[in-house]
Chains A and B, each alone.
Chain A
Amino acid sequence: MSGHSGLPAGAATARRPRRAGRPGGRDARAAAGFVLPFLAVFALCYLAPVCYAVWTSLRRTRRTGPLGLGTEHDAFAGLANYAQALADDRFLTGFGRVLLFGVVQIPLMTVLATALALLLESAAARWVTFFRSAFFLPYGVPGVIASILWGFLYVPGLSPLVRIAQEVGWNVDFLSRGSVLWSVANIVTWQFTGYTMLVLIAQLKSVPGELYEAARIDGASAWQVARYVKLPLLRPALVLTTVFSIIGTLQLFAEPMVLRPLTSSIDSGYTPNLHAYSEAFVGNNQHRAAAEAVLLALVACAASFGFLRLVGGRGKERG
């Protein structure tokens, strides 16, 4: 198996096709025609905002006039906004929280999705289409709606789940300080397990059936086929979905935002994204918010690349 390292490996392989003898001018013109429309919008919606955010993050507001209510102007502030963001306990706690969330939720969801994929693809499964649709269905529910929906299932006094739990003598509070993070994790798991599962199933189906057949003829049990043939095959797809999960986790926003009014356990800096949002919109401090957004993007890139490095390295050792 070559190139199991996921995303960036694509860059290396795609370089392969090479054509000789074409006049460079025509190539370049045609290529420009194809790439430029995308690049133009990409520059407008990605590059420009990133530059603007970096620029904003390096400045701060100064005021003059009585009580400072006079004219305001922006001045260069160096890295002061970054220093302040990094000195803000709530912001750092938010990072710690999403890291904890990611370390627990991503493996859990991945294991669940893998198990479901293998079960559905096992020979003994019945009603495969029904189950697959049922598992995949929550992916079509937007995060905000899912949170409103689960919110009703969490609020004590309203939630049928809490009531059932109390009937059997279990006094559960989904929205308490200790549990609310896992209640958010549950919403995310509910939404994205089916999607992850589908990616994995696609990967399994992309492998010639003879491979499984051969393993069976060699006397492997269903469990052994799953464990020693199918699971290793899933590796590239697992890398892909994990990277998406890492990015998604660091961006956590809608779920805590929607649950926040329902509980006294979610503060304004519950996740880094929520913190930046509060800083920008409630505190009206665009400069600090920009610095936080930049830090968040850096961490997301570092975490994703770090993860790819990690699995890429191991892949080579094994290969």
Chain B
Amino acid sequence: MTPFPRRTRTGAAMPTRAPVRHRIIIGALLATAALYFLAPVYWLVVSATKNSADLFGTFGFWFSDHPRPLRYLTDVLTYDHGVYARWFANSLLYAGVGAVCATLLSAAAGYALAKFPFRGRETVFGLVLAGVLIPSTALALPLYFLFSALGLANTYAAVLIPSVVSPFGVYLCRIYAAAAVPDSLLEAARIDGAGEARIFAGLGLRLMGPALVTVFLFQFVHIWNNYFLPLVMLSDSGLYPVQLGLTTWIGYADRQPVLYQYTVGGALLSVLPLMVLMTVLQRYWRTGLTEGSVKA
């Protein structure tokens, strides 16, 4: 969807018309909501400056007498030969590579489903739709046995391969391609003698841009947040993504109390980059997000 610059201008002019009373009420409501959404994050920031004893012993919404954020966060990064950094890199790898591949595969499939009337097309699309509805956790266990038989369990591929499939991405791409890629343009390119692959790469991908950004972000967050699949697939802690590593830490925190503090610090570090990403990329989310419903 193209944004409406004109609307923004009218939007900016409007507040002068809104009564002060409205503005105060709305502001208060929004501030209350913001308090709700930000309080746990605030708690996380405060707690990351505490050691395990203060975590248990001091009031959660305020700092201890001797906050040492840098020291404790450095501890997180250096503990156990810097395994945290490794987990973080793994998460980036799974989510980054997985989301890029998922986007390309979805784009190609969605494009073909929209632009080529081939036999069995609707069957394929029906399968994809069913795929959207199947709980992915229900698949994890059989997938584990399958991958074990193939010798893929406990490898990067075990998490990466399932991550490149995004039925929702295909669905979105098909709908978007149907509307945003004009047949006439494709015909023209064909008459010019361009191959189908080149038409897709040069024209299709470009025209489907906004939808692709959405698919990418959606899948990135999906993989980043996925807990069940790596839990089932991975046993080598060197392959763990961040959140799996953190649950291991909290799992034996009672034997090694310092791990409480590391878990909290690690949680903050893992959340920060994604929060930045979310905030920065909001605009792109907005442009493509509703295609699934709007274009219909």
Contact: B117 with A19, CB < 8 Å? yes
Given A153-B43, A236-B293, A286-B141, residue A273 in contact with residue B135 (CB < 8 A): yes
Contact: A44 with B133, CB < 8 Å? no
Contact: B109 with A34, CB < 8 Å? yes
What number of B residues sit within 8 Å (CB to CB) of A?
A: 115
Given A141-B271, A145-B243, A199-B290, residue A30 in contact with residue B26 (CB < 8 A): no
Contact: B37 with A138, CB < 8 Å? yes
Compute how far the CA of A198 lies from the CA of B287 in the bound complex, rounded to whole angstroms. 10
* Contact partners of A3 in chain B: CB under 8 A: 296
Cross-interface CB contact of B139 among A31, A46, A115, cutoff 8 Å: A46
Given A28-B119, A202-B287, residue A19 in contact with residue B183 (CB < 8 A): yes
Q: Nearest chain A CB to B296's CB is how many angstroms away?
A: 4
Q: Nearest chain A CB to B248's CB is how many angstroms away?
A: 11
Compute how far the CA of A115 lies from the CA of B33 in the bound complex, rounded to whole angstroms. 11
Q: Nearest chain B CB to A245's CB is how many angstroms away?
A: 13
B86 at the interface (CB under 8 A from A): no
B83 at the interface (CB under 8 A from A): no
Closest to A274 in B: B137
Cross-interface CB contact of A140 among B10, B56, B167, B278, cutoff 8 Å: B278
Compute how far the CA of A204 lies from the CA of B3 in the bound complex, rounded to whole angstroms. 11
Given A7-B129, A7-B132, residue A35 in contact with residue B112 (CB < 8 A): yes
Contact: B38 with A137, CB < 8 Å? yes
Q: Nearest chain A CB to B141's CB is how many angstroms away?
A: 5
A50 at the interface (CB under 8 A from B): yes
B40 at the interface (CB under 8 A from A): yes
Compute how far the CA of A87 lies from the CA of B141 in the bound complex, rounded to whole angstroms. 23
Contact: A190 with B40, CB < 8 Å? yes
* Chain B interface, >50% SS class: helix
* Contact partners of A222 in chain B: CB under 8 A: 18, 22
A156 at the interface (CB under 8 A from B): no
* Contact partners of A236 in chain B: CB under 8 A: 290, 293-294, 296
A263 at the interface (CB under 8 A from B): no
Q: Nearest chain A CB to B250's CB is how many angstroms away?
A: 6
* Contact partners of A153 in chain B: CB under 8 A: 40, 43, 60
Binary flags per residue of B113-154, CB closer than 8 Å to A gives 1, else 0: 111111101101111111111111111011101100000000
B256 at the interface (CB under 8 A from A): no
Binary flags per residue of A1-26, CB closer than 8 Å to B gives 1, else 0: 00111111111011111110000001
Compute how far the CA of A11 lies from the CA of B114 in the bound complex, rounded to whole angstroms. 9
Compute how far the CA of A42 lies from the CA of B165 in the bound complex, rounded to whole angstroms. 6
Contact: B292 with A7, CB < 8 Å? yes
A300 at the interface (CB under 8 A from B): yes
Contact: A149 with B44, CB < 8 Å? yes
**What are the 10 closest A-B residue pairs judged by CB atoms, nearest first?**
A209-B7, A160-B60, A123-B14, A34-B112, A236-B293, A124-B18, A31-B116, A140-B274, A49-B142, A38-B109
Q: List 11 A-B contacts (CB under 8 A).
A: A7-B129, A30-B197, A35-B108, A38-B108, A44-B161, A52-B145, A122-B26, A123-B17, A140-B278, A144-B246, A158-B56
Given contacts A142-B243, A296-B135, 18 further A-B contacts (CB under 8 A): A45-B165, A53-B138, A116-B30, A124-B23, A125-B26, A131-B30, A143-B225, A145-B270, A148-B247, A149-B40, A158-B60, A190-B37, A202-B290, A251-B137, A253-B227, A290-B142, A293-B141, A304-B133
Give chain A's interface residues, CB within 8 Å of chain B: 3-11, 13-19, 26-28, 30-35, 37-39, 41-42, 44-50, 52-53, 56, 112, 115-116, 119-120, 122-127, 130-146, 148-150, 152-153, 158-161, 163-164, 190, 193-194, 198-199, 201-203, 205-206, 208-209, 213, 222, 236-237, 239-240, 247, 250-251, 253-254, 258, 273, 276-277, 280, 286, 289-290, 293-294, 296-297, 300-301, 304-305
